[in-house]
Amino acid sequence: MKKNKEWVVDVIEEVAYFGKGKRGITRLAFTEPDLKGQEYIMNLMVEAGLTVRKDQMGNLIGRLEGQDKTLPAVLTGSHLDTVPEGGKFDGVVGVVGGLAAIHYLQDMGPLRHAVELIVFVAEESSRFGFATMGSKVMTGSGDITAWSKVKDQNGITFAEALSEQNLDIKQIRLAKRNSEDIKAFVELHIEQGSVLEKKGNVIGVVQTIAAPTRLKITVEGMAAHSGSTPMEERHDALVSASMIVLAINEIALDHSSQGTVATVGDLKVHPGSINVIPGMVEMLVDLRGIKQESIIECLQEIKDAISTITEEQDTIVAMEMMSAEKPVDMSPEISKLIEQSCVDVGTTYQLIHSRAGHDAVNMSKITPTGMIFIPSKNGISHNPDEYTEYDDIMVGIDVLAETLYKLAK
């Protein structure tokens, strides 16, 4: 039966309980709060009468059968995992909103196509350094050889995290879906930026999604006594690393008119002692944009800046490309359907680009894909203060349900 705002508020608040800490919500991929959140949603899927399964990667899939079993399914969904100290809405809105939309569809009449709600695992790169792992596996991409080498902050390998749930890294490729079995994918998500809020529009119809290029930079200097080593004799890896951080920031600022951004989000200093000059620093860089040319230029400028800095500082730098994904366009046909649904629902809308990454990037490789954005208060996300008005969430659900209906009827 059609779910009201109270139901949506209750379910989002319930999900927020899993992983709630002193600051925000920490529901890292494959950790207990993440699995508990999935279990909670799984029960709601069962209550809704969906056929529920988990694939070989742990992606949770609830399916509403259609009248014609020979037709491909229409998919929606998002993720439940969060960054450390994240908010309540990133990903969750697309899962809970997707489930609410399926309830609407059940009222709207018989559908010829099946509709599936997917809870993708490991969308956030916070635990293993790789983004959208669940949808990558589902769409037959993902560098599983590289994944088999990664460890989380506690030294747990990705393979171990899987096997804790009786999943086998050697089997995950079997989670790949065939494009012939899927008609379309539509994801509802918070904007995580302030474009909609500033323009006063409720819905954003996503045109292009930025994708991350990620680098691991290792700076090697020489560890030495912090008291007895004269300033002019040092090879301080952290000083070089700091100059690299500033250079990356400057370079991205120069490219910001192109929508390109760059962040050094993690820095590990070795040996990390107050009385030792840092001998080595590892840093993680996230470079993203809508325009591939600008990303390539930034990358070259970062390399040039690093050469200059390390020469001056007499330190050594190694740069490893962890991933290099390209910006992805959404399907014009699905975008048009979403626009039409906005008109049918009677809401304000605009075209928009996504600067954050999403599972929709991967899904678009195997099926026509679209995304529906709703406003984020002050554009804040990946932060405990992340907030979206529930009235806007309800409009997002209406638009999602309308779009899914058009595709599945």
Q: Could you list the residues that contact Mn ion (CB under 5 A)?
A: 90-91
Q: Which does 82 bind (CB under 5 to 8 A by kind): Mn ion, ligand GLV, none?
A: none
Give residue number: closest CB to ligand GLV.
Answer: 357
> Smallest distance, Å, CB 171 to ligand GLV?
26
Nearer to ligand GLV, 125 or 367 (CB): 125
Nearer to Mn ion, 188 or 306 (CB): 188
Nearer to Mn ion, 84 or 140 (CB): 84
Q: SS3 sequence, 207-235?
A: EEECEEEEEEEEEECCCEECCCCCHHHCC
Q: Which does 38 bind (CB under 5 to 8 A by kind): ligand GLV, Mn ion, none?
A: none
Given a contact cutoff of 8 angstroms between Cβ atoms, the answer to whether 91 and 79 are in contact is yes
Nearer to ligand GLV, 37 or 357 (CB): 357
Q: Which does 357 bind (CB under 5 to 8 A by kind): ligand GLV, Mn ion, none?
A: ligand GLV
> Smallest distance, Å, CB 272 to ligand GLV?
26
Q: Which does 133 bind (CB under 5 to 8 A by kind): Mn ion, ligand GLV, none?
A: none
Pure H helices in 221-291: 237-254
> Smallest distance, Å, CB 122 to ligand GLV?
11
Q: Which does 364 bind (CB under 5 to 8 A by kind): ligand GLV, Mn ion, none?
A: none
Residues of the shown chain interacting with ligand GLV in the complex, contacts defined by CB under 6 A: 124-125, 131, 356-357
Nearer to ligand GLV, 147 or 405 (CB): 147
> Smallest distance, Å, CB 131 to ligand GLV?
6
Matching residue, tokens 């909609």: 196
In sequence order, what are the beta bridge partners of 286?
214, 263
> Smallest distance, Å, CB 78 to ligand GLV?
10
Catalogue the long-range contacts made by 58-61 (C-beta closer than 8 Å, 24 or more residues apart): 58/30, 58/121, 58/134, 58/162, 58/165, 58/167, 59/118, 59/119, 59/120, 59/121, 59/134, 59/135, 59/137, 59/138, 59/175, 60/118, 60/119, 60/121, 61/116, 61/117, 61/118, 61/119
Nearer to Mn ion, 90 or 220 (CB): 90
> Smallest distance, Å, CB 273 to ligand GLV?
32
Give the DSSP letter string of 56-114: TT--EEEEE--S-TTSPEEEEEEE----TTB-SSTTHHHHHHHHHHHHHHHHH---SS-
Backbone angles phi, psi at 52, to 5 degrees: -115, 140
